[in-house]
Amino acid sequence: VDLIGRTGDTILDTYIFAGDDRMVRDVWSAGRHVVTDGHHIAHDAITDEYRKVMEQLKASV
């Protein structure tokens, strides 16, 4: 993503809406490596919980 020439909010807009899954490879938080090579350490748990919530929402409609 080319951020050259962007200012203010357009930097964030470009980063969010024009980025892909290669934009964030590693994240450290409070001394913990929580994203490694683009994969969050809790990815599976987050995905499972998201699916459960979506199933509950669909069932309630």
Higher pLDDT, 18 or 39: 39
- pTM of the shown model: 0.60
Convert the pLDDT of each residue in 4-14 to its tens digit: 999 999 988 88
Q: CA-CA distance, 21 to 35, in Å (whole number)? A: 12
Name the DSSP class of 20: -
Delimit the domains of the chain by residue range.
Answer: 22-60
What single-letter DSSP state applies at residue 57?
H
